[in-house]
Amino acid sequence: MLDGFKRPDAIDKLSHVQLSKEQIQLKIKVLNFIREGLKNYKPKDKASVFVIDGDAGTGKSVILNSLFNDIQKISKKSSFEENDVLTGTENYLVVNHPEMLKLYHRLSLSFDYLTKKDIERPTSLINRLAKEKSNGCDVIIVDEAHLLATAKNAYKRFYGENHLEELMKLGKVLVIVYDDKQSLRMDQYWSEGTDNGGTLKDYLNSAKACETYYLKEQFRVTGAPDVQEWIKSISTTKKILPIPTTDAKRRTNGDLDAFDFKIWDDCGAMYEELKKKDHEFGQCRVLCTYDFPYRLGTKDCNIKPWSERPDTIDEVGSVYTIQGFDLNYSGVILGRSVGYDAENDEIVIRPELYDDKAGFTKRSNIVSPDSVKEKIILNSINVLLTRGVRGMYIYAWDDELRKRLLRD
């Protein structure tokens, strides 16, 4: 075991991690796409769009951050060649996630070519540029694009029909990172080939130019392939695969750096073990499906992301506090909305017990609300089960599901 190992915080992960060969090649590919899009843009043209698609943990945000840093360096530094089409451009990084926005704003303080004004929520950027009667901007980078609004929301002061549509009107080139398995609300619901919410391909078909790249290499969850398949199966098809054994055998044989996967029958004992792991490694937290009343904390809430605050070891996080972030160990509670269907030997989703009522507010573009509710809960399970880098513990609130998960 790596004695005293501490996982770098989220800022270090985004700004100092060494990109893989594939990630470097992708960044070059996207930069070339951006330059071509800007060079060939004419007034009244549609925006060009590059999509970086991939599951949670495939390094989408890392690439995006490195890309935006490079773009802003070229845009704002006079030392670059004046004939570079990016020189002097007006560019923005957009993220519709308050915890990620905190992170990016903190990151901007470390570089003289980044400012907080370069990084905004989509509604804020759309409304500000409209108020300024702006002719738009050059490049818009969108992190967590699956969280863009797909419906009007006057309460949040968004009066358009779709964030992506409005951003495509403002930018000459858009680069978005996307994973439809992470849509978590009806007003931000993105689907593949259905009439529910937003369908990405509809907007890509209207773009002046479009490219998509699929990232597959997993950088977060270090578990063996049987762990990866277990997570994918239960969170997409509802099927419960046999308990993964590859990493368990490695740990039995003395390799304590192998991924630590365990189903628990005692939630209190799981929490006590997780506290020990937090003392050893840091950034180990309990998470839960949104099935119980939540109370938002206040201490340091506007300074650090939830996963990096030491006091949150005594709290239980949700998909909204942890999406986009890593943990060394995660302790995941599958709450009341996740039960067991013995006849089909799979989990059963109970939307009526899901406590995120605001997330289930019916929208006019949702044709099949019941199926969308189930998919949202499955997506939340996928997000929660893909946070742990070194290990993941699971406890099921439902007695029958807990017994089934513990069964070899």
| Mean pLDDT, residues 70-94 | 84
Distance of CA 178 to the CA centre of its chain: 8
Confidence of residue 82 (pLDDT cuts 50, 70, 90): low
Assigned domain for 220 exists: no
Domain holding 248, by residue range, is 225-406
248 and 346 together in one domain: yes
* pLDDT of residue 6 exceeding 60: no
In-domain check, residue 289:
yes
Lowest-confidence range among 207-211, 283-287, 296-300, 367-371?
296-300
Residue-level pLDDT at 12: 55
What single letter denotes the amino acid at residue 148? L
The number of domains in the chain is 2
Residues 122 and 242 placed together within one structural domain of the fold: no
DSSP one-letter string for 274-321 = HHHHHHHHS-EEEEE-S-S------TTTTTS-GGG-GGGGGSEE-HHH
Q: Does residue 202 belong to any structural domain of this protein?
A: yes
Lowest mean pLDDT among 16-20, 145-149, 346-350: 16-20
Q: Average pLDDT, stretch 103-121?
A: 89
Q: What is the mean pLDDT of residues 332-358?
A: 96
**What tens digit of pLDDT does each residue of 157-185 get?**
999 989 999 999 999 999 999 988 899 99
Contacts of 3 (CB under 8 A, 6+ apart): none
Same domain, 301 and 259: yes
| 92 and 203 part of one domain | yes
Describe the crossing of helices 21-40 and 60-76 by its angle, rounded to 10 degrees: 50
For the domain that residue 255 is a member of, what is the CATH number?
Answer: 3.40.50.300
Q: How far is CA 183 from CA 94, 140, 150, 198, in A?
A: 17, 21, 11, 11
Same domain, 116 and 140: yes
341, pLDDT greater than 60: yes
Give the tens place of pLDDT for each residue, 222-271.
889 999 999 999 999 999 999 999 999 999 999 988 999 999 999 999 99
Q: What pLDDT sits at residue 384?
A: 97
Q: What is the pTM of this model?
A: 0.89
What is the chain's mean pLDDT, rounded?
89
C-alpha distance from residue 24 to each of 19, 51, 246, 293 (Å)? 6, 16, 31, 43
- Nearest-angstrom CA–CA distance, 93 and 174: 10
Q: Which pLDDT belongs to residue 4? A: 39
Q: How confident is the model at residue 305 (pLDDT cuts 50, 70, 90)?
A: confident
- Of 2, 61, 43, the C-alpha closest to 257 is 2
DSSP structure string for 130-152: HHTT---EEEEEEESGGGS--S-
Residues 301 and 397 in one domain: yes
DSSP state of 397: S
- Over 80: is that where the pLDDT of 10 sits? no
Whether 298 shows a pLDDT value over 80: the answer reads: no
56 with 172, same domain: the answer is yes
Residue 15 pLDDT = 56
pLDDT tens by residue, 259-281: 999 999 999 999 999 999 999 99
